[in-house]
Amino acid sequence: MPANVPGLYWRPMSGFGASAKPENVVLENTAAPGVVIALTARQLANGDYLLVPSTPLAAGGGYRLTDLSMCAQTQDRGPQVVFQVGPEAPLPSSLGALSAAAVGVTEMNLATTSGSCFSQATVAQSSIELVPASAAAPWLDALHFETLVDGKPWHFFTSIGVQPAPGTTPVGRARDRVFEVCASADPHVGEGLAAGTHVVTMQATLPGTTQVMMSESVEVKLSCAEAQPEGEMGGCSAGGPDAAGGAVLALLGLIRRRARGSAGSSSVPAR
């Protein structure tokens, strides 16, 4: 990531109780292990933190970030990650183009409010992916992405209590999936998007700045009646890599999923 990233994005980990404090996050240069780089914690509006190093990150350098918090239930320690820093880069004015795969009918797991964590549904879906502009490419691992469908935020979850890392979706960073629910034995998985043509766009923000970057839009026509069956299961299961409870690196920082107070409808655009 660029050396001029504003800070390290950190989300306190659920189950770590009072030990999940920003002062328990330690940053070191891998060339000088044991020499701790001080971090200034700035709490964000959503309760997460931006941790700002006291000395600038050096282009070409490697860094180790360690969360020394301890889980109250299991006594497990927080995770550790190592990352590389690239040269400084200007923030892009736009993200690039979106690609949309042909719509196909497949099975996927969706979070449900029926009492179980997830239920299977048949969906007509299209996979969306950002084709980044050259200026956006250095920032891809630092930006927080959000998908807009017809101008409204779009989110879905593969299981209750399982949320992707901030700025990502259940299928990864700068990627998403839009779908119409064709059938499910569980009526509580939600309806997804309505059949018909939808305009999909991605926007991104860089924590620590106010700039909002937009992608070009792409149109997707969802139709359970017209879509062809896919050869493989396209839905993310609750046990997939994005559902794991481990840490991920975002904005040169450590972020862990934190259980949110709301775990309701899984597959409708936020209103």
pLDDT at residue 242 greater than cutoff 90:
no
What is the average per-residue pLDDT within 79-89? 92
Q: What is the pLDDT of residue 258?
A: 36
What's the whole-number mean pLDDT along residues 202-217? 95
Q: Within 10 A of 185 (CB to CB), how many other CB atoms are there?
A: 10
What is the arithmetic mean of pLDDT over 76-93? 91
Helices (H), the chain: none
Assess whether pLDDT exceeds 70 at residue 219: yes
pTM value is: 0.79
Closest CA to 11 of 199, 245, 264: 245
Per-residue pLDDT of 113-141, as tens digits, reads: 888 899 999 999 999 999 999 999 999 99
Q: Where are the domains of the chain?
A: 8-84, 94-242
User: Tell me, what amino acid is at 257?
Assistant: R
Q: How far apart are CA 194 and CA 223, in angstroms?
A: 9
Q: Which CATH architecture has domain 8-84?
A: Sandwich (2.60)
